[in-house]
Structure 1
Amino acid sequence: MRWNSEERAFAVEAYFSSGCSVVATQRAFRNRFNLAPLAPIPDRKSIVTWVTTFRQTASATKRRTGVPRPVRSPENIEAVRASMLRSPQRSARKHASALGLSDRSVRRILRDDLHFHPYKMAIVQELTERDFNSRMNADEAHFDLCGSVNKQNMRYWADTNPRQLHQRPLHSPKVTVWCAISSAGIIGPWFFEENEVTVTVNSDRYVNMLQIFFFPRLEELDLGDTWFQQDGATAHTSRASMAVLREHFPERLISIRGDLEWPARSLDLSPCDFFLWGFLKSLVYVNRPRTLQDLKTNIEEKIANITPAMLTRVMTNARYRFTQCMENEGRHLTDLIFKTM
């Protein structure tokens, strides 16, 4: 609602005449201009603004004269810089509140004056010195109804990418899912459960899954002499599991104690880990599944929608990662983690 100068002037006069009462001012305003009971009248914010303007300029309609104080002054720019350097992981909104500036002004200073950018925090599996040599030389994932870690609010403000890693261990699941992935297709998902209750993966359950689910579907793909790669989970590398796998993949088993050793904590080298599980977790929670069955249905549908072209790109990326791992002497693939567009 736009109010003319006469209406604003009357509101200011009525405000002072009523002892600075907004309610009395609104009542006088309605009577003065013969407004119907439901007709709009100036709200508290408008009246207070007009009064403040009158006190500063002796007018209810004119803004304050003079040169306005520049928000992006050298002093404010330096204050924002110092604040960000002290707490680079605080949000721009919190910095703005602490500095007494608007969120928009702080973001403009960060972008246009300081050339800072909100870099995402990378979450990776922790590596020890002992792992580096091992990494030189497809498995289960866990889905919880509460969803996965939200990294959208994890930012680090700086003028250059700090390439900071946030290392954390893996978490226990509510639903345990197994898949096998290749350029020819995905076999799965298989849910480890008994009587519709999620169970832990042990050797017997792993062998049972291989025999009744994985091997029959692998034969349907008719891929010939296929190599099989798995991580070093105890259930995977037990005597019973390894015996079954060696029989099915003679001299073609990539695993701890396999024909080719597979290094521990190498999520960034496994297509299931660097692609499949993250891809699924970005999609299966979109419609907020309310039950585990809803979650499992989402997982099945999203896997079915993965195209052969996408799998081809994933495998090409996997080969590139292997090369980068060797060139980086087994350490984190920072060129991939912090890749910019």
Structure 2
Amino acid sequence: MRWTSEHRAFAVEAYFSNNHFYVAVQYAFRTHFGIKPRGPVRDRKSIVLWVENFRTTESVVKKSSGRQRTVTTPENVEAVRQSILRPPRRSARKHAVSLDISNHSMRRILHEHLNFHPYKMVVVQELSPCDFQNRITVCETLLENLPPDTPVFFSNEAHFHLSGYANKQNMRYWSGNNPRELHERPLHSDKVTVCCALSRVGVIGPYFFEEDNNAVTVNSQRYVDKIKNFFEPALEELHLGNVWFQQDGATAHTARASMTVLREKFPRWLISLRGDIPWAVYSPDLTPCDFLWGYLKAEVFKHRPTNVLQLKNVIRQEVAQNPVQTGTSENGCISA
């Protein structure tokens, strides 16, 4: 509600006539202006502020804070540049207030004169100084110890949410009136948890962690089942000899049961936390799977699947279209 000079004048008059009792002022305010019992009225702090303003200025009219400069002069452009460079994470509105220029002029200077654009920050895992060196050490160790003719299977899991293709930032309705469209979505959309292993000879996967067609959390037992019942048969179909196997340091991967099975399957050929070649923590971007997931999600959600079954079929379809594919197993294993 916009509070006019008439509202302010009545509140000040009622304040003095009711012996500075602000509750009586609120009651008289509602009665005089026909406001419902639970309708909005000013609180005690605002009423006292109006009274103090009247005492100091002898007026109930709200004083302007001063005319803002609205001209995008060279001086203002340089002032905005310097202000933005000092704390770049500060909002444009706060910069405008600190420089005493209008918000409109601030944004015009940022876009038209400085060619600045607002970018969203991405929150990533914080790395300590030793983590950078560990990542370099891992890369150097891999280059020195991996035979060029031996395949390395890099493995990882990813979540594909059914609503993942929706981008509300680009959802707009052009209309003369607000259509009041409401798109209801569940708080936690259906998803599938997918695992793939990628090497220069092809992709093994996708493997879905699920029970009764519902996605489940990856624990050590389910991870071991995947290795024994899916990954090992897929390797046998490829007729490969010794291969290296890489995994990150997730708890399900490095649990005692998981490591026992992996050491038996890949003796002296395991790249992992506490493996034959230690894998650096906080390094998902060092594996080709990081690029695989980005590619797959971009392609999968072009199909706009509407249920989990369609989502799984589209994932299988996109993995099967890998250019190095020469055959597909019953479980969706792609070989080369």
Shorter-chain TM band: 0.5 to 0.7
Residue number in structure 2 paired with 1:239: 256
Q: Normalising by structure 1, what TM-score?
A: 0.53
Structure 1 gaps of 5+ residues are 1-69, 154-170, 310-341
* Structure 1 pair 307–89 and aligned structure 2 pair: CA distance change class (3 A): farther
Kindly report which structure 2 residues correspond to 1:276-291, keeping only aligned pairs within 5 A, or say none: 276-291=292-307
**Displacement of 1:131:** 3.3
Residue number in structure 2 paired with 1:206: 223
* Structure 1 pair 183–121 and aligned structure 2 pair: CA distance change class (3 A): farther
Which of residues 299, 304, 308 in structure 1 aligns to 2:315?
A: 299
**Partner SS, residue 282 of structure 1:** helix
Question: Could you list the per-position Cα deviations for residues 153-188 of structure 1 after superposition, in whole angstroms to 9, with x for gaps in the alignment?
Answer: 9xxxxxxxxxxxxxxxxx999421110000111111
Question: Could you list the per-position Cα deviations for residues 72-111 of structure 1 after superposition, in whole angstroms to 9, with x for gaps in the alignment?
Answer: 6314423542563466357889989953249676422123
The amino acid that maps onto 1:81 is: R
Residue number in structure 2 paired with 1:258: 275
Residue number in structure 2 paired with 1:107: 111
* Structure 1 pair 252–93 and aligned structure 2 pair: CA distance change class (3 A): same
Query: Given that residues 246 and 270 in structure 2 are in contact (C-alpha distance below 8 angstroms), is that contact kept between their aligned partners in structure 1?
Result: yes
**Partner SS, residue 186 of structure 1:** strand
Query: Given that residues 227 and 254 in structure 1 are in contact (C-alpha distance below 8 angstroms), is that contact kept between their aligned partners in structure 2?
Result: yes
Q: Normalising by structure 2, what TM-score?
A: 0.54
> After TM superposition, what 4+ stretches of structure 1 lie above 4 angstroms from structure 2?
89-98, 102-106, 116-123
The amino acid that maps onto 1:206 is: Y
* Structure 1 pair 148–140 and aligned structure 2 pair: CA distance change class (3 A): farther
**Distance in 2 (alpha carbons) for counterparts of 1:304 and 1:241:** 28
**Displacement of 1:229:** 0.6
Which stretch shifts more, 138-147 or 124-133? Answer: 124-133
Figure out how many residues of one structure are paired with residues of the other and give that number.
218
Structure 2 gaps of 5+ residues are 1-69, 139-154, 171-187, 326-336
Residue number in structure 1 paired with 2:78: 78
* Structure 1 pair 211–298 and aligned structure 2 pair: CA distance change class (3 A): same
Residue number in structure 1 paired with 2:243: 226
Residue number in structure 2 paired with 1:147: 164
**Partner SS, residue 163 of structure 2:** coil
1:128 corresponds to 2:107: no
**Distance in 1 (alpha carbons) for counterparts of 2:163 and 2:302:** 12
**Distance in 2 (alpha carbons) for counterparts of 1:247 and 1:183:** 23
* Structure 1 pair 148–229 and aligned structure 2 pair: CA distance change class (3 A): farther
The amino acid that maps onto 1:100 is: H
Query: Given that residues 80 and 109 in structure 1 are in contact (C-alpha distance below 8 angstroms), is that contact kept between their aligned partners in structure 2?
Result: no
Query: Given that residues 142 and 173 in structure 1 are in contact (C-alpha distance below 8 angstroms), is that contact kept between their aligned partners in structure 2?
Result: no
Residue number in structure 1 paired with 2:27: none
Identity across aligned pairs (percent)?
A: 57
* Structure 1 pair 219–104 and aligned structure 2 pair: CA distance change class (3 A): farther
**Distance in 1 (alpha carbons) for counterparts of 2:86 and 2:123:** 22
* Structure 1 pair 204–252 and aligned structure 2 pair: CA distance change class (3 A): same
**Distance in 1 (alpha carbons) for counterparts of 2:166 and 2:277:** 33
The amino acid that maps onto 1:73 is: T
What's the C-alpha RMSD, in Å, of the aligned pairs?
3.9
* Structure 1 pair 147–257 and aligned structure 2 pair: CA distance change class (3 A): same
Question: Could you list the per-position Cα deviations for residues 29-55 of structure 1 after superposition, in whole angstroms to 9, with x for gaps in the alignment?
Answer: xxxxxxxxxxxxxxxxxxxxxxxxxxx
**Distance in 1 (alpha carbons) for counterparts of 2:207 and 2:75:** 60
Question: Could you list the per-position Cα deviations for residues 258-299 of structure 1 after superposition, in whole angstroms to 9, with x for gaps in the alignment?
Answer: 1111121111211112x1122222333334433222322232
The amino acid that maps onto 2:112 is: R
The amino acid that maps onto 1:281 is: K
**Distance in 1 (alpha carbons) for counterparts of 2:120 and 2:242:** 41
Kindly report which structure 2 residues correspond to 1:1-341, keeping only aligned pairs within 5 A, or say none: 73-78=73-78, 80-82=80-82, 84-85=84-85, 88-89=88-89, 98-101=102-105, 106-111=110-115, 116=116, 121=121, 123-129=123-129, 131-135=131-135, 136-137=137-138, 138-147=155-164, 174-273=191-290, 275-308=291-324
The amino acid that maps onto 1:107 is: H
Query: Given that residues 252 and 259 in structure 1 are in contact (C-alpha distance below 8 angstroms), is that contact kept between their aligned partners in structure 2?
Result: yes
**Distance in 2 (alpha carbons) for counterparts of 1:298 and 1:207:** 26
